[in-house]
Chain A
Amino acid sequence: MRDLDQIPRNSLAWLLVAQGIILAPHVGHAPFWIWGIWLIVIFWRWQIFRGAWGFPGQLVKFFLVGSCCAGLYLAYRASFGMETMVGLLIVGFILKLVEMKKRSDLIVICHLGYFVIATQFLFYSNLLAALYGIISLVVLTATLFASHQSLAQHRFWRTLKLTGILMLQAVPLMLILFIVAPRIGPLWAVPSNSAGAQTGMSDSMAPGDISNLMRSNELVFRVTFEDLAPLQSSLYWRGLVFSYFDGRRWAQSQQQLSRADVSWPESASPAWRDQLQYRGDSTDYEIILEASGQPWLFSLAAAESWSHDDAGLSRSLNLQRKRPVNQRIQYRVSSFLDYRFEADSLEPWQRRQELQLPANNNPQTRRIAQQWLAESGASPTALVQKLLNHFNQGFRYTLQPVSLGEHSVDEFLWQTQEGFCEHFASSFVFFMRAAGIPARVVVGYQGGKLNPLENYFVVRQREAHAWAEIWLEGQGWIRVDPTAAVAPERIEQGADDSLSEEDARLLRNGFAGQFPLFNTLQLRWDALNYSWSRWVLGYDTDVQTGILQRWFGGLDPWRLVLAVICLVALTILCIIGVMLWRQRKQYANPADRYYHRFCNKVARTGCVRRTGEAPRDYAQRLAIMRPDLATSVRRITELYEWVSYADNQAALKDLKEAIGVLKVSAAK
């Protein structure tokens, strides 16, 4: 006899292990003092287990909870965000440990633990995080399992194995629900994760920003083209457009920041969209964008339609979202690489915006710009060509340019003549504006690395790029990439091949790239992660609709409900079937099986074999009741005896045959 509501000590050990595993992923964002409290609580629990200390009193509990809440308030004073919520949850999960007295308390902790496991996916959602989550779930379920086992029955591997079986059996149900359960949009606005990736493109550009970005190998997004991918040299992933220059830093103009002219899908399209003419064929692609903490989305110019409901096209032809991208999102875009925009005229405010230059700065460039414009006969095209030629003569493309002083454009164009794409783009736009040609800087990514395994492009931070756009009367906005004039291989083959040996060494991190095998593995791993993002994380209503349409031929609610019921019932029946099959009756002797069949057959006469009745006695009884069956019954009984007692294998066949042939009519 034992107390049924006590906490078995094995499950306490399981719980501590599970807590460690569950809390580990939260080390990154939870305040550090939480771990101190956790250690104190574990120590306390250990003392309780030893019988040295008692359970905390009301006052101590109140103090612990109060100080933790105060600590969380101080840590997240700025905003009540997702981390605050998770922090509270973790505090509850930890403190409950010292309060736990009965088994039902332990079960409550396990339930809290399940919730904490779920929250870890708000911070990490790649393949490894998923595997880690599965481990946490198994260990926590094993804790729950162990608390319902007796100490005598509990053995580490056995408990783990039984838990594993339980969870494996649940997998089919999970898959069905995952595929079929409707995805409803957010029911209310939730505090978002401010701890999302913060590296990456910022909302302004100063010399050195992009070259810093290039040192990062971090994934920005992955693209799959529906049809043939365009040439590498035309993959200009447009992110942001900067029209405001303060002499050093390029940023968005007030008008661009205001989002007044953004064309949202739900509202009527603004007038400027009539000036955007798409030509040729569309290029359709799907982008899986990693969390950036910024609201802009990347696309090829000019986007015509996109699948993301939250996103809109700005007048600068870049896609942006209302909320920052705090977790990985997936969207499809249809772009026309050939387009004309605002070809006829610019409005006066636009002209002002695209010609804006800070006063009294870079005088040399301003002078030369005017001079060259006169030399090229006031033809903007000729001026562009002249400047690009200038770049082509003796400019150096390097990651480590000498730093520039106050008149950065002057120094770059006429003295140092070495720099990176932002220097080229920035000085080009400055020069054009100085010559009276509307121009602006575009930042984003250029190119991408093809993963041949899954046929998609990976765009990393090192593909960051800046280029220029100028406006020509009659032609509209035209992309000009001054970098291409200096280092055409940057555009044609990608960032890696364009750099000098020295720069390339700077970028190369660790031993990656030195071993071909490692490279292949990396490609495979990335391909796996891509499929994961695309099919699991990106499984949304659109994909679901497609799949369900294909499988069930429609999306009517009754079809879905029927499908779910059928599938769930099928799974459960399978499991019950296996359980029953394992418990099925087994015969020591094959003859017994046939004899049993015979007994069932003859029982129809109303003469049922009694328990423990010998075959011969039964035959005799049968012969008296049904003389018409006597001969065959006697023969079968004899054969049965031959097989069972004399091990006559030849008789087995006859027995089977005789029983098969036997015809029994019901009792008269």
Chain B
Amino acid sequence: MISPRTLTSSFRRFFGRWAARRCPKAPTVRLQHKSIYVLPTRQGLLFIFVLAVMWLLGTNYQNNLVLATTFLLLGVMCISILHTFKNLSGLRFTAIGCRPVFAGEYASFEVLVEPAAKSSHENVIVSFEDHVSLAVDLAQGSEQRLHLSTKTHRRGWFEPERLLVKTIYPLGLFRAWSWIQLDMKALVYPNPLPSAMPPVKAETSHQGELSSPENNEDFQGFSRYQNGAPLTHIAWKKFARGAGLYLKDYTGYQSQQVWLDWDSLTGLDVETRLSQLCYWAVELAKTRSEFGLRLPDCVIDLGSGSAHQEQVLRALALYGLKTPSVQGVRYA
């Protein structure tokens, strides 16, 4: 027995695939007639009903002015199809990109929207399907950058769902919409998972004494001032006594070398391991330690700085993934 619900949903899937074929994935998409669909809204259907009753009124009373009103409104309705269509037609969407996020956070995709030549667009509603939508007004010759958020779940490459662009401007009688697939993806790092001890193998650590970075503010002694040292680390009391500029030395600021090691996390599953490694990579990057990463299939040498951090996190995000992971249904 096929229930109507499965029937509609399978029809929706079929229509979705069909629509996707008509508008393939591209970095820039321009809405054209072949990918814009127009159907009356519920209000539009109600309006047709009102017009039918109005026609009956005019016919029964043989009143030509009532009939003329009916015909004028019918004309307005027909013309509004064109205006609704035109409000989407020619819009250009360009994927700009998305900052990497940690799994479970919202990825914010930046999309540039430009109006068609010599026309303006009003109240165009853009959203990832079933997500919070944005209403866009575009004056002639202007452009807008939209930040469209969608929730991520797993690490790896995240490709957002297709983008739904719709409008019911100008009269709400018709709804024009289009699905577009912009060629954009976000890198999703593993969800950082705190753990008590850093995943470090004792023999591989160059400094076995290193305690957890929680203690990294432990005061160790003084060292001579060097140019560029942060002012907060200057021993002002010593300076006040006329002893000259000294720096308070903290463990954390000592140059350390830490290897985050996959093998040190035994007995855990892959994702937990990656999550813990991720947590420590982030924490270590907050200090100035040099750290490296050892994964079964790659090794990243010791380093520091944001570029290094990104490299490490990327390796964690993409560990073991052959193909980009895609959230949801894949359409093309």
Contact = CB atoms under 8 A, between A and B. Distances in A.
Interface of A: 1-2, 4, 103-104, 107-108, 111, 114-115, 117-119, 121-122, 125, 129-130, 133, 137, 141, 144-145, 147-150, 152-153, 162, 166-167, 169-174, 177-178, 181, 183-188, 190, 327, 536-540, 568, 572, 575-576, 579, 582-583, 585-586
B46 A108 contact: yes
Interface centre among B63, B65, B135 (most CB of A within 10 A): B65
B82 A575 contact: yes
B163 interface: no
A314 to B, nearest CB: 24
11 contacts: A122-B66, A145-B170, A170-B76, A170-B78, A173-B78, A178-B67, A184-B59, A188-B60, A575-B79, A582-B119, A583-B119
B53 to A, nearest CB: 7
B171 A187 contact: no
B125 A173 contact: no
Given A167-B72, A171-B75, A184-B59, A150 B118 contact: no
B125 A4 contact: yes
Nearest to B81: A572
A475 B172 CA distance: 73
Contacts of B66: 118-119, 121-122
Nearest 9 CB-CB pairs, A to B?
A170-B75, A173-B75, A121-B65, A177-B71, A174-B72, A170-B76, A174-B71, A190-B60, A169-B79
Contacts of A149: 122-123, 169-170
A186 B43 CA distance: 28
A137 to B, nearest CB: 7
B85 to A, nearest CB: 9
B135 A125 contact: no
A153 B135 CA distance: 12
A114 B54 contact: yes
Contact of B46 (A111, A166, A171, A576): A111
A162 B170 contact: yes
B88 to A, nearest CB: 13
In terms of DSSP, what is the predominant structure of the interface of chain A?
Answer: helix
B134 interface: yes
Among B56, B70, B76, residue most surrounded by chain A Cβ atoms (within 10 Å): B76
A245 B64 CA distance: 42
Contacts, number: 164
Interface of B: 42-43, 46-47, 50, 53-54, 56-76, 78-80, 82-83, 86, 90, 116-119, 122-123, 125, 132-135, 137, 168-172
Nearest to A538: B64
Contact of A2 (B58, B71, B76, B135): B135
Contact of B72 (A111, A144, A171, A539): A171
B202 to A, nearest CB: 52
A125 B61 CA distance: 12
A1 B64 contact: no
B65 A150 contact: no
B69 A137 contact: yes
A183 B67 CA distance: 10
A141 B76 contact: yes
B172 A148 contact: yes
A166 B59 contact: no
Contacts of A144: 171-172
A147 B172 contact: yes
Contact of A166 (B43, B62, B79): B79
Given A181-B71, A583-B90, 15 more contacts: A108-B43, A114-B50, A114-B69, A122-B61, A149-B170, A150-B123, A150-B135, A166-B80, A166-B83, A170-B78, A171-B72, A173-B74, A173-B79, A174-B71, A187-B56
Contact of A4 (B71, B79, B135): B135
A557 to B, nearest CB: 18
A178 B63 contact: no
A118 B58 contact: yes
Contacts of A186: 59-62
Nearest to B58: A118
A108 B44 CA distance: 10
A149 B170 CA distance: 8
B71 A114 contact: no
